[in-house]
Amino acid sequence: MLYKPLENFKKNISKEEWESIIEDLKNSIEKILSEFDSFFEKNIALSILSKKDKTYLKRSFKGYIRKYLLRYPDEKYVNLVYKAGERLFLRGFSEEIILEVYKIISKSIDHNQLLKGKLGFDFSIVLRPFLNFSLEEGTKIIRESSVEVVFLLQEAAQIHIKSKHKFLRALMDEDFETLKKIPDYEYCE
């Protein structure tokens, strides 16, 4: 599951090609970091976070930009990035917050399409723990209320969430056959 995006990335860009292009970009990391700082501070969606969470998030992603953005991925790298996603998930950050940070970094590296492709690859791995999340607590609360309508709502919500997760997984894996089989949102209603 995790290695399909890696295979696609390696098909598109060889390691030799990556190394030759990245040499020129090593000097631009400080510029990317300063732009990231300014966009991060101005972002309204991140203003809801506590100061501690905001600092943790900023420090984590600045470390990512410094150490990992220019690194060519392999299996070990994919596992490291996945574990980073798990840590963010366990810290309680939502996928919307992570996507906001993705947008900020994307704006910071706006000048380079190769880095944007690498960023998309990395975030497809970081978001995996969020897609594997199950709503067991929500199910427990709903079952305790024992109202038929609530069960129907629960079933519709689960169909919606499963469809959303299937859609995101298939999109990240570039699995277009699965995308065709996902039910419409009208089915959930």
104, 149: one domain? no
Q: How many domains does the chain have?
A: 2
123, 141: one domain? no
80, 7: one domain? yes
List Cα–Cα distances, 127 to 24, 115, 122, in angstroms. Answer: 29, 18, 9
Compute the distance between CA of residue 187 and CA of residue 181 in angstroms, rounded to an integer. Answer: 13
Q: Check if the beta carbon of residue 176 is closer than 8 Å to that of residue 170.
A: yes
Q: What is the DSSP letter of 147?
A: -
Q: Tell me the average pLDDT across 28-53.
A: 89
Structural domain ending residue among the three candidates 82, 112, 131: 131
Q: Tell me the average pLDDT across 73-79.
A: 90
Taking each helix axis as running N to C, give the angle between helix 113-126 and helix 15-25, from 0 to 180 degrees, rounded to the nearest 10.
110
Structural domain ending residue among the three candidates 83, 104, 131: 131
Query: Domain containing 8 — which CATH number?
Result: 1.10.490
Q: Which pair of structure tokens corresponds to residue 22?
A: 């990245």
Length of the chain: 189
- Structural domain of 175: 136-188
Residue 52 pLDDT > 80: yes
Per-residue pLDDT tens digits for 8-32: 888 888 888 888 888 878 888 889 9
In this prediction, residue 130 carries a pLDDT of: 65
Which of 134, 127, 117 lies closest to 168 in space, CA to CA? 127
Q: Tell me the average pLDDT across 111-131.
A: 79
In this prediction, residue 35 carries a pLDDT of: 92
> 131 or 128: which carries more pLDDT confidence?
128
Q: Which pair of structure tokens corresponds to residue 15?
A: 């390691």
Per-residue pLDDT tens digits for 138-179: 444 444 444 454 455 556 666 666 666 666 676 667 666 765
Structural domain ending residue among the three candidates 112, 131, 150: 131
